[in-house]
Structure 1
Amino acid sequence: MSNPWLLPHWPGLPDNIGVLSTTRRGGVSPAPYDDGHGGGGLNLGTHVGDLSAQVAANRALLRAALPADPLWLSQVHGTAVLNVAEADPRQVPEADACIATAPGKVCVIMTADCLPVLFADRQGKTVGAAHAGWRGLVSGVLENTVAAMRAAGAGELTVWLGPAIGPDQFEVGPEVRQAFLGEAGDAAGAQRVEAAFRAIAGKPGKYLADIYALARARLQGAGVTDVHGGEFCTASSAARFYSYRRDGVTGRQASLIWLK
């Protein structure tokens, strides 16, 4: 079997930073958490109905590629950011973003359509990860992560957008578009938001949203313009990724970053 990891194409990432994103492949979980090819799936979520022993086995397979156990979070579509070094490893903290400033501390975000966003400063001193569904995006989870990293001494930031639901699959109602417009800040921000929504013919009030474009707009508003990734679609790539919107009951993949 080919390497199950997705290794980000991230130009300019400092050499002392490790990063990877998992797919649904390379694990032990059966359907509906399987690999999409009749084999075991690498489901990493403990909250989706998979057997705990299978999730533990999958996490052990991932752990073999990491310098330490990652700090798994209880993600609630919020905006809380924590420092991995300050967290109790015996607990599962409630947060949707984390940062690390010391080597060997692994940041991790789980997703199955929401957008995982990985951050690094160009000096290789600070990294971060954020879980950005549309609620987290509009509420400021990316801005909070940027602020936490800067408070920890980060300089110029570079960002990678991991696998999320693509712009041809993410159907939303008018309230989502209006929520982003309400937080756009200025005319330029509103223009960027408008460009991220396409009206769906024959479905009045329904739009296709580009979560990657919305993330780039929010990052630009926070002064971060060196942004990579954003070429995936979890919902239309059943052979590679889990997708909650596509399958309902499904697993979770992870995106991880750490200082070596």
Structure 2
Amino acid sequence: MSTREGGVSEPPFHHLNLGRSVGDAPEAVLENRRRVARHLGTEPVYLHQVHGSRCVLLDGPTPEPLSADAAVTATPGVGLAIQVADCLPVLLSALDAQGRALAVGGAHAGWRSLAGGVLEATVAALREVAPDNFALRAWLGPCIGPEAFEVGEDVLEAFGQRPELPGRHFRYQPRLDGSPRWRANLQGLARERLHQLGVEGVSVEPACTVSDPLRFFSFRRDGAASGRMAAFIALG
């Protein structure tokens, strides 16, 4: 997982902005991506993320960014990149009985994608490309934390919850003017989905992107001045 340190972008995108569509100088983004590729030892595939649930299967570099919010590969050396700036990056692997990875995947799990089934699509794709008798593992990266993620009734409805019974991943906290609002636990919602999908092991990086401006970009905090980080995974 990248942070905002180690790149060449000028303010307000300083320093390691990996997003091409945020207004940063194209040559700076290109150099930042080159630095990441050298560090990883592979050229990762970046998606054109649209807050949907589509998952694509990759077996090599693509000439143009694919419109999708998740990707899976069973090809060694193919790196997957999931860009975020408050949304939740989820990295997954399918392991055989000896703990060797058979396939890997990554998902961009903002609330829209998560409610829309991006994790279900990614797990289904992993099950298609991996042989039988494997275990699924997942890593949840830094994202907007439950103390910062204020949502309205539309988000509760997207997850099948009602205002009077919001569920354990939503906490009622109205604004000072009395308008109803809830605080949402994005990682908690993702863990619940993964458990339902049979993912046996889930590790979590609990850092909140909004509350740590030195390490993380945050769209909720900085708006259009926010760059993009990325989480990466590859099959060795």
Instruction: Please say whether Structure 1 and Structure 2 have the same fold, judged by a TM-score greater than 0.5.
Output: yes
Instruction: Give the whole-Å Cα distance in 2 for the aligned partners of 1:168 and 1:125.
Output: 37
3-state secondary structure, aligned to 1:64: helix
CA shift, 1:219, in A, is 1.0
Q: 1:91-140 CA deviation, whole Å, 9 max, x = no partner? A: 11101000110110001100000000000112211100000000000000
Q: TM-score, normalised by structure 2?
A: 0.91
2:92 match? 119
Say how many residue pairs are matched. Answer: 225
Q: Superposed, which structure 2 residues align to 1:1-260 within 5 Å?
A: 21-34=1-14, 41-85=15-59, 89-123=62-96, 124-153=101-130, 155-181=134-160, 194-201=167-174, 202=176, 203-248=178-223, 249-260=225-236
Offset of residue 88 of structure 1 = 5.7
Runs of 4+ deviating beyond 3 Å: 201-204
The TM-score with structure 1 as length reference comes to 0.83
Q: Structure 2: which 5+ residue stretches go unaligned?
A: none
Aligned amino acid, residue 180 of structure 2: G
State the one-letter code of the partner of 2:188: A
Describe the superposition over 1:165-212 as per-residue Cα deviations: whole angstroms up to 9, x where unpaired.
0010000001101210269xxxxxxx9x71000011444420000000
Q: SS in structure 2 opposite 1:194?
A: coil
Contact kept? 1:115, 1:162, Cα under 8 Å: yes
TM-align CA RMSD = 1.6
- Quote the Cα distance in structure 1 between the aligned partners of 2:173 and 2:161: 21
Contact in 2 for aligned 1:96/1:130 (Cα 8 Å) = yes
Amino acid paired to 1:69? E
Q: Which runs of 5+ in 1 are unaligned?
A: 1-20, 35-40, 184-190
Matched-pair identity in %: 43
Deviation at 1:163, TM superposition (A): 1.1
